[in-house]
Amino acid sequence: MAANMLLERIGLEWPIFQAPMAGTSTPAMAAAVSNAGGLGGLGIAAENVEGAQRMIRATQALTNRPFNVNVFCHRPAIADAALETRWIERLRPEFTALGAEPPAALREIYQTFRGNAAMTALLVELRPAIISFHFGLPDQDQVGALKQAGILLFGSATSVAEASKLADAGIDAIVAQGYEAGGHRGVFDTAAPDDRLGTVALIRLLARRCDRPVIAAGGIMDGADIVAALKLGAAAAQMGTAFVACPESSADAGYRAALASDAANHTVMTRAISGRPARCLSNRFTQATERAPDAEIPDYPITYDLGKALHAAGKAKSEFGFGAQWAGQGAPLSRPMPAAELVRTLAAELQAA
Ligand SMILES: Cc1cc2nc3c(=O)[nH]c(=O)nc-3n(C[C@H](O)[C@H](O)[C@H](O)COP(=O)(O)O)c2cc1C
């Protein structure tokens, strides 16, 4: 499939993809983007089957256009009670300062999509136009079942090696996620060395070395950025941070305020929030954990259980600085406006460029 045929095959007016963002994108956002001629996205990684069903049906009720449903394909968490207890004790002083008690133990709060037959059956039944994978691949029989249902498949890659694995498994298009990107880094194996390729180098490498359409992601904030990505060989641009400030997102007031403040100039890549590397605004949580060695951080998503508990304790005292305020390096260029207006603005900038 040639790059320019990707948009035709999906039936889109604009090469503008709103990133699926677990916990932040909503059916209203995805539908608004798709109705405006871009590709809306839902992140269902934190949902069980009932939650995923609710979100997909809600989106289908708001748009007849194609949209993207995203799942996480990490290996299941490896629990380590002693490590988890040390992690709880490391953050105990932050809870104490908020007059709260940390949880006694941590849980694996989300299930991976890998091997999840019930979620696969739901997706086959509801048949969104696109399903995308982050953190690797599901089992080959899941890929087969989704393709058999006529669903187009995308997968995130942070390197040529990961893109080759996706192509070999029959994935239709590759989301090239550069190190600038906000949110979780899509690396397949967090124990392997990470070359931390930037978006420009990665798009170019994949455009030349991979026979699938490339979707550029990481630090793309306006029409000029999208044009640059297309010139480098991408078929479309996937933008997350640019959509966080839209009124349709479920970002809380603290996250929105941080994004609009000087904090937007200071993003950090950290494992301490969830257990996997992810880019976030520098805040009280990232500062409190910046010296934690990787070996002292529990597995994904067990670590996230404590981060969410601390955020809840903070919010109860109007302290928002412990939230997972995911953002990419382009965060200072974020423009708060309704999602459809953002798509129209980006499309106008794209045409002008
Ligand atoms: C708030 C937020 C949540 C995200 N959640 C997901 C997710 O659930 N699945 C996924 O594949 N990517 C997720 N990402 C990463 C995006 O797909 C994309 O790689 C990234 O947003 C691109 O960089 P940018 O934020 O600079 O635009 C998320 C990004 C953000 C900002």
Asked whether the predicted pLDDT for residue 317 surpasses 60, the reply is yes
pLDDT band, very low/low/confident/very high, at 1 (cuts 50, 70, 90):
very low
| pLDDT tens digits, one per residue of 194-228 | 999 999 999 999 999 999 999 999 999 999 999 99
C-alpha 268 to ligand 1 mean position (Å): 14
C-alpha 185 to ligand 1 mean position (Å): 8
Asked whether the predicted pLDDT for residue 2 surpasses 70, the reply is no
Atom of ligand 1 nearest to the CA of 329: 26
pLDDT band, very low/low/confident/very high, at 172 (cuts 50, 70, 90):
very high
C-alpha 20 to ligand 1 mean position (Å): 6
**Mean pLDDT confidence for 334-342:** 98
C-alpha 21 to ligand 1 mean position (Å): 5
Ligand 1 pocket mutation pick from 17, 18, 21 by most atoms within 8 angstroms of CB: 21
| pLDDT tens digits, one per residue of 80-134 | 999 999 999 999 999 999 999 999 999 999 999 999 999 999 999 999 999 999 9
**Is 182 close to ligand 1, i.e. is its CB under 6 Å away?**
yes
Question: Quick one: pLDDT at residue 3?
Answer: 52
Asked whether the predicted pLDDT for residue 245 surpasses 80, the reply is yes
CA 87 to chain centre: 25
| pLDDT tens digits, one per residue of 280-313 | 999 999 999 999 999 999 999 999 999 999 999 9
**Is 217 close to ligand 1, i.e. is its CB under 6 Å away?**
yes
